[in-house]
């Protein structure tokens, strides 16, 4: 077990990693964690180099796009639990979405637009997972609109299915980390 200065240094490294790297997943994030992960970093404006090169079949910024090569906009992966094979939110999902809703309604993010990407694991077929992920993204957007009054014009729901796995797995592998919602600040 770490103690004293080593523990503080370790905690600072973890906090910096969580807040400084786009697309980083946080375990049970607070609304403040979400705000810090999604707010645009004005210090990084201008030409930068990204290490993320994710394939995209549509031009950068196009509706329905999951990722663009070199896309370094602020983003965050959230574990949002749904009932198996459905877009019904579980109590755990509502807990997570309440924190997301508080963050998106905060003054720091109130003027920004967000893409909500629904992702699935490889259980089922691509033909069923793609629309399922779209329904899940739409369920998240609808919840945020109804509970937190976030305007629909600020949210773009996109179903990615199993095309952008967080953890590479073979077909028919239940992997909870792949069943996630990825939030991207389109204004960042």
Question: Would you state the pLDDT for residue 165?
Answer: 94
In 3D, which of 185, 156, 34, 184 has the Cα closest to residue 102?
A: 34
pLDDT tens by residue, 56-96: 333 333 333 344 445 789 999 999 988 778 899 999 999 99
Residues of the chain where predicted confidence (pLDDT) is lower than 50: 1-2, 6-24, 44-69
Distance of CA 172 to the CA centre of its chain: 23
Question: Would you state the pLDDT for residue 84?
Answer: 77
Tell how strand 75-78 and strand 181-185 pair up: antiparallel
Give the predicted TM-score (pTM) of the model: 0.73
Compute how many other C-beta atoms are within 10 angstroms of the C-beta atom of residue 152: 11
Helix, strand, or coil (residue 185): strand
The residues, any chain, with a CB within 8 Å of residue 119's CB and separated by 6 or more, are 133, 160, 161, 162, 164, 165, 166, 178, 179, 180, 181, 182
Q: What share of the chain is helix, strand, coil (3-state, %, to 5)?
A: 40, 15, 50
In 3D, which of 183, 174, 59, 185 has the Cα closest to residue 112?
A: 185
Domains parsed from the chain with CATH numbers: 24-41+67-185 (3.30.1330.60)
C-alpha–C-alpha distance, residues 1 and 174, integer Å: 33
Question: Would you state the pLDDT for residue 4?
Answer: 54
């Amino acid at each position: 077990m770490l103690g004293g200065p080593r523990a503080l240094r370790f905690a600072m490294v973890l906090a910096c990693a969580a807040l400084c790297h786009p697309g980083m997943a946080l375990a049970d994030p607070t609304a403040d964690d979400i705000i810090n992960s999604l707010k645009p970093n004005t210090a990084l404006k201008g030409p930068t180099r990204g290490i993320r090169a994710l394939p995209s079949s549509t031009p950068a910024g196009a509706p329905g796009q999951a990722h663009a090569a070199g896309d370094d906009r602020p983003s965050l992966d959230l574990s949002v639990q749904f009932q198996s094979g459905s877009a019904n939110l579980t109590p755990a999902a509502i807990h997570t979405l309440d924190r997301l809703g508080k963050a998106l309604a905060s003054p720091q993010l109130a003027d920004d637009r967000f893409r909500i990407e629904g992702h699935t694991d490889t259980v089922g077929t691509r033909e069923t997972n793609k629309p399922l992920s779209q329904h899940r993204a739409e369920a998240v957007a609808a919840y945020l609109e109804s509970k937190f009054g976030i305007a629909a014009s600020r949210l773009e729901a996109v179903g990615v299915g199993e095309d952008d796995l967080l953890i590479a797995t073979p077909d028919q592998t239940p992997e909870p980390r792949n069943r996630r919602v990825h939030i991207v600040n389109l204004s960042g």
